[in-house]
Structure 1
Amino acid sequence: MENSDSAIPPPSVKKKNVTPINPKIAELTESRQELFSRIQNLKQDLQNWRMKMDTQVKVHRDELSELKKSLNTEVDQLRSEFQELRTTLQQQQEDVTASLRNLGLQDVSEEPKGAEGPKNVEMAQNLMEDESKETHE
């Protein structure tokens, strides 16, 4: 019988082993709850951060879109102004050529004769300068 009695631990030994388990379970449960709470807070922080980032991205995209529209408008306006300048310059060139022809002078490109060409061009330039001075005075 000693064998059977020695195999069964006395009741006091069982209580010692069981008693420390309950506080450990309670501690682990509390620790688990704290971790769960921290995870929930981190998830909420992440969600808030994402919303803020989405808002900022939208604002920046809108600003960039407005800047792009503005720049495109300015570029179109500049193109139009340059086209007007080009047309005006072509018209002035045609007017000068017509004036030279009306004065009996030929265009340099039409006169390959040499010495008279530069003389005629110089005279025409002088006449144009004189006309320009008269209109400004």
Structure 2
Amino acid sequence: MAEITPSPAPSPVPATRQKLSVFEPLDARIKELTSSQAELLGRIQNLKQEVQKWRSNVEAQSKTLKTELLDTKESLGSEVLHLKSDIKEIRSAVQEEKARFKAPFRNLEESNDET
């Protein structure tokens, strides 16, 4: 009779390997979250840069508009003073003409009253 040699028993999977296999999905998830976090940080940095550029543009535009408004205000103030001066001249001219126009009638009334 031939001797039957027992086949080697399957070697059991080391316990540490089983424990590590439990963490593999977690490791993959952590890598995914880390890459998502990096992507979000990059997007946030881009948005910050865009906001800074936008803010700079708005500040530059507001300075320009403020300067233009001040110039316009000064110009309008000057024009208003000029118009006030013109109106005073016109009023005095009208008063003079009124006085000249009424003078002959006063003289006529006075002469009529005397007669």
Do Structure 1 and Structure 2 share a fold, with TM-score over 0.5? Answer: yes
Residue identity in the other structure for 2:109: Q
**In 1, distance between residues paired with 2:98 and 2:33?**
95
Residue identity in the other structure for 2:23: V
Q: Paired residue for 1:16?
A: 21
Q: Paired residue for 1:30?
A: 35
* Gapped regions of structure 2 (runs ≥ 5): 1-13
TM-score (norm 2): 0.70
Q: Paired residue for 2:93?
A: 88
Residue identity in the other structure for 1:21: L
Q: Paired residue for 2:56?
A: 51
Identity of aligned residues (%): 37
* Gapped regions of structure 1 (runs ≥ 5): 1-8, 118-137
Provide the aligned length of Structure 1 versus Structure 2: 100
Q: Per-residue deviation at 1:22?
A: 2.6
Q: Paired residue for 2:81?
A: 76
**In 1, distance between residues paired with 2:42 and 2:66?**
36
**In 1, distance between residues paired with 2:75 and 2:20?**
82
Q: Paired residue for 1:40?
A: 45
User: Which deviations, in whole Å up to 9, do the C-alpha atoms of 1:45-86 show, x marking residues without a partner?
Assistant: 111111111111222222222222222222211111110011
Q: Secondary structure of 2:109's partner?
A: coil
